[in-house]
Structure 1
């Protein structure tokens, strides 16, 4: 919701405050960054995602590719 309205900082705050982040939450944030032109931030979030034990999937990579395209 926040990403679609261009408010990725608020979206990131929600992600950071969540007790447990799942793949859907991570992918939503990665996609939001990528769609708004923050490709480097999206890539950094994927790295953080992996550090936190969540493996990127096809949707994650598609969002990144779209962001760098």
Structure 2
């Protein structure tokens, strides 16, 4: 009985400091966010060799080159 109680107490004490990790998410929408997206439907997502993330829409592309920029078809 004593060993079982010690194991239960140890399990409780070990589990107490455990908390769930909260990941920082930024939501990008056409209406809100740090950059206004051209559309709410992304057609393709790619990452280039430098690590920038590119979002492709029907008529524009958005690149994450330190700050997001919207590129029209002519600038691609």
Which structure carries more helix by proportion?
1
Question: Whose radius of gyration is greater, 1 or 2?
Answer: 2
When normalised by structure 2's length, the TM-score is: 0.18
When normalised by structure 1's length, the TM-score is: 0.19
Which structure carries more strand by proportion?
2
Greater RCO, 1 or 2 (C-alpha within 8 Å, sep 6+): 1
